[in-house]
Amino acid sequence: MTVPRTIPACPALALPACLALMLGVSVLLAPAAAAHDVSGHGAAGEAADARSSVVADDLPPGVRFEVLQNGLALRLRNDSSAVVRVREPPLPVAPGHSVQWHVDAAHPSAGPHPPVQPWRVVIEVNGVAHQVLGEVRWTPGPSPWPWLAGAALLAAGLAGTAWRWRGPAWLAMPLGLAVLASIGHTGAALAARTAEGSRWALLGGYLPQAGCWVLGTLAVLQLGRGRTEGAGLGALAAAGLVVITLARDGVVLGAPVVLVSLPAALDRVLVAGIIGLSAGVLAGLLLTRSIERRTPSAAAS
């Protein structure tokens, strides 16, 4: 005799709860996303409200000027045999060498600002003054809500699928995709931090993400082998990815300037994908666990 399986009344409680959680966190993050404050003269940021760039220069061949990390630093390289010197601050640049320095006017800052902030650097080559003209231009960014809505729909879809499919093993695939997307976004963000020295010295700031990657990888391996013990590790990894990505990377969804070594639209896809996949995996694992707990009680009755 087949005993009908008793399950929760409907997924109507789990899906809105997942969506409400994401919406609530998004509302809390909205002021931060609007500010995109990446100033601080050394503070790393992945998003900004303005772009700092060179608009004109009359430097001779062999003398190369760069704006690093959206104005966090300026770099001058002397690949010629000329005597090169930055006038202010006074910095000599020997042939085959480069110097790096910071100029407040070339770095986007928080607070009231004009739509365009010009800046200028004077460079002497063999005693002759040359100019580099630049600007910091503030522009409105895209709305983050379509990206967050897409992430919410993805999470709801995964949670709804978990309602229909018994067992957590299939969640290994979306969890693995979330881990890969997080690794891709983090690698692109790290590669763009060209003004802060050795990449190895910056890795410590990414330990929380790395911990989620390790937990997520272990969970994927266990779930893929049909071992339900991986559900707990998967839930921890998914929850960590949701929180870290929303808190640290969510601002890129609404920023006009995204400081990563990827096209901005592709990076937004990665960030929204991490949020949606991780939230969906977490909701799916919780739903699956809830169903598994209630099924034996139904059979016993």
Q: Is the dihedral of CA 51, 52, 56, 60 positive or negative?
A: negative
CB atoms inside a 10 Å sphere around CB 290? 16
CA distance linking residue 235 with residue 145, whole number of Å: 26
208-213 contact pairs (CB < 8 A, 24+): 208/240, 208/244, 209/182, 209/241, 209/244, 211/240, 212/179, 212/182, 212/237, 212/240, 212/241, 212/244, 213/179, 213/182, 213/183, 213/237
pLDDT at 165: 81
Q: What is the pLDDT along the chain (301 residues), one digit of tens a residue?
A: 343 333 333 343 444 444 444 444 444 443 443 333 333 333 456 889 999 999 999 999 999 999 999 999 999 999 999 999 999 999 999 999 999 999 999 998 876 778 999 999 999 999 999 999 999 999 899 999 999 999 999 999 999 998 888 678 899 999 999 999 999 999 999 999 989 877 777 888 899 999 999 999 999 999 988 887 789 999 999 999 999 999 999 999 999 999 999 999 999 999 999 999 999 999 999 988 877 676 654 434 4
CA distance linking residue 243 with residue 170, whole number of Å: 23
Dump the DSSP string for 130-162: EEEEEEEEE-----SHHHHHHHHHHHHHHHHHH
CA distance linking residue 5 with residue 3, whole number of Å: 6
| Closest-CA residue to 238 (of 178, 154, 161) | 178
CA distance linking residue 187 with residue 171, whole number of Å: 24
pTM of the predicted protein model: 0.80
